[in-house]
Amino acid sequence: MTFPAITAGTRTVLQRTEWQRRRDLHRARVDDLIGPYLKERRRGRKHPVIDFLFTYYASRPAHVLRWHPGPGVVLEAGEEYLALRGYHRVAGGITVDPAYLRSRVGALGATEALLRATAARPARLGCFGLHEWAMLYRSTDSRHDLPLRLGRSGTDRVVEDMPLRCTHFDAFRFFTPEARPRNESQLTRDRQSHDEQPGCLHATMDLYRACFSLAPLVESELTIACFELALRARELDMRASPYDLRDLGYQSVPIETAAGRAQYVREQSAIAADGESLRSAVADRCAQLLEQVPRDAREQLITGE
């Protein structure tokens, strides 16, 4: 999938019928991905796998359902978008406000830098999703109301028998105190850009967060592509976890066995390969947006001087 570059100073006007058609196609794609989940969510039912993409990321289904055209596109008769942040009126319709772009320069720069640093490293495929196990190690607490496939003692034994190689701080910070010293690196927020690597499922899921947090500067075609990959990554994340998800229709990946570890690496590799192109697309979009802000203004906005 390719995403056209943004060209400074150019605008495309979409007639109302055309942008509404695109909006409806976008909503249909979301429905294909998580339609049944959204219906259950409206009834107040929780889902320990998919909920994560909304609760942990402080997102809402509306962030995925809402179609954004991206900068440089004018929506004819698109007044409904004026109720959303980041839009303003121009001759011919509604479009993304350059003032909003300038207000997000810092976030765009930080996002691009982290994604470029992550992409520059080789994918590491030997973690086997043990972060979920480390979050339970020698603890009576549980992050989900689900049975454990191997029980408490069996879960602890897996952590003790296998090396912990987590590279993602936002997973590591939820390790139990007894599990943290077992990780090969003691991760910190300050070193995130030095430790992040493209084989990590959570680093791939974070591409979705990058997109929706920058909306409407990122078009929904890119956001939904990252969301779809995040959904795949989250499913593998939980299928390889110590939890028994059979009642939810998920087949476990038993990483405590050699066959399970081989299966995990195959699926992890496929997700990392798809994440490579999307990570590049998001980083490129950040760079293109930054180029639309004059260099002196950009530097002033980043430094705050």
pLDDT (tens digit, 9 = 90+) per residue, 176-187?
Answer: 999 999 999 999
**Res 266 pLDDT > 80:** yes
Please state the separation of Cα 182 from the chain's center in Å.
Answer: 27
State the pLDDT at residue 299. 64
Dist. CA 28–CA 25, nearest whole Å:
5
Instruction: Return mean pLDDT, the chain.
Output: 93
Sequence-ordered list of residues with C-beta below 8 angstroms from that of 93, at least 6 positions apart, any chain:
13, 14, 74, 75, 76, 77, 78
Please state the rounded mean pLDDT for residues 192-199.
Answer: 96
State the pLDDT at residue 303. 54
pLDDT (tens digit, 9 = 90+) per residue, 3-31?
Answer: 877 766 678 999 999 999 999 999 999 99
Q: In this structure, what token pair is assigned to residue 164?
A: 């912990």
Please state the rounded mean pLDDT for residues 280-288.
Answer: 96
CA dihedral sign, ordered 32, 36, 42, 45: negative
Q: What percent of the chain has pLDDT over 70?
A: 95
CA dihedral sign, ordered 28, 30, 34, 37: negative
Dist. CA 214–CA 3, nearest whole Å:
16
State the pLDDT at residue 4. 74
pLDDT (tens digit, 9 = 90+) per residue, 129-173?
Answer: 999 999 999 999 888 889 999 999 999 999 999 999 999 999 999
Q: How confident is the model at residue 305 (pLDDT cuts 50, 70, 90)?
A: very low
**Res 301 pLDDT > 70:** no
Residue 183 near residue 164 (C-beta atoms within 8 A): yes
* Number of other residues whose CB lies within 10 A of the CB of residue 243: 25
